[in-house]
C-alpha cells in the first residue's frame, strides 16, 4: 500500500456550508453513508508513556498509531487500523476484527489475537505484548465524506468531536462521550499522485489554515 498526500484545514461552520455546496456539484458522496454522513467511534491505543501522543505533539516525521473503529453503531463491521506518517505523507492499513476479539482485547485477553493470520493483527499483538500498547480513550465524531475518482481523492468534513474521557467501554453504545471544547470543524483532503485542479479550487477558502489537528490528541487533553 502506497503513501498518500494529506491536507488538513480547520474551518468554520460557514465554511462547511460553502464546501458542501461546492463538493455536491463536482464530487460523489461516499456510498456507505447514511443521509450523506456517518457516525464514527474509534478506540485509540498508546503506550504507557503515551508515545503516539507525544510524537504527534512534537511533530515527529515518522510515526504511527493504532485504533479500532466502527461506523453508525454497526458492531458487525469493526476494523483495526494502523495509520502511519512519513515526512507528511500518510498510509492506512486495516484488518477486520470480530466482536469477540474486540471484547477479548478490552478484557485484557490479548492472546485471543494469536493465530488470526492477518499480518496487521499479528503486528498489533506484538506491539501490545512487546511495546505496551493499551486502550486509551474513545473518540466519537460525525463525518461527511466525498470522493472524486481522478487522483483517488477523498474529501471529508469532520465535526462534533467527542471524547470518552479515558473511557474504553468501546462496544457499549451508551458509553458517554463529551464534546471537546473549542474543537474546530476539520476539512481533510487526501489523494495519490496528483490533486485535480477542480478539487484544489473547490476546497480553497480564504480564512482557513492548514494544520495538523489530531482528534486523538484533542480528546486526550482531558487525561
- At 94-118, the pLDDT tens digits run 999 999 999 999 999 999 899 888 9
**Closest among 6, 77, 96, 82 to 38, alpha carbons compared:** 77
Residues 170/200, Cβ–Cβ less than 8 Å = no
Q: What is the mean pLDDT of residues 27-44?
A: 93
| Residue entry with cell 498510509 | 91
pTM recorded for the entire structure: 0.93
Q: What is the mean pLDDT of the chain?
A: 92
Q: Would you tell me how many other CB atoms lie within 10 Å of the CB of residue 2?
A: 7
Amino acid at each position: 500500500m502506497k503513501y498518500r498526500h494529506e491536507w488538513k484545514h480547520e474551518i468554520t461552520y460557514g465554511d462547511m456550508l460553502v464546501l458542501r455546496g461546492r463538493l455536491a456539484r463536482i464530487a460523489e458522496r461516499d456510498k456507505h453513508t447514511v443521509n450523506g454522513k456517518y457516525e464514527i467511534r474509534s478506540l485509540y491505543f498508546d503506550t504507557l508513556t503515551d508515545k503516539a501522543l507525544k510524537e504527534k505533539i512534537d511533530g515527529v516525521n515518522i510515526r504511527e498509531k493504532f485504533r479500532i473503529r466502527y461506523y453508525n453503531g454497526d458492531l458487525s463491521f469493526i476494523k483495526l487500523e494502523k495509520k502511519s506518517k512519513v515526512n507528511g505523507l500518510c498510509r492506512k492499513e486495516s484488518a477486520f476484527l470480530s466482536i469477540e476479539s474486540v471484547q477479548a482485547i478490552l478484557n485484557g485477553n490479548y492472546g485471543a489475537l494469536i493465530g488470526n493470520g492477518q499480518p496487521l493483527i499479528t503486528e498489533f499483538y506484538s506491539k501490545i505484548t512487546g511495546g505496551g500498547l493499551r486502550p486509551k480513550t474513545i473518540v466519537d465524531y460525525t463525518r461527511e465524506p466525498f470522493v472524486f475518482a481522478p487522483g483517488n481523492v477523498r474529501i471529508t468534513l469532520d465535526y462534533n468531536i467527542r471524547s470518552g474521557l479515558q473511557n474504553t467501554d468501546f462496544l457499549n453504545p451508551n458509553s458517554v462521550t463529551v464534546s471537546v471544547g473549542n474543537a474546530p470543524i476539520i476539512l481533510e483532503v487526501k489523494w495519490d499522485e496528483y490533486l485535480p485542479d477542480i478539487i484544489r479550487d473547490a476546497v480553497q477558502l480564504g480564512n482557513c489554515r492548514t494544520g495538523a489537528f489530531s482528534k486523538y490528541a484533542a480528546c486526550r487533553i482531558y487525561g
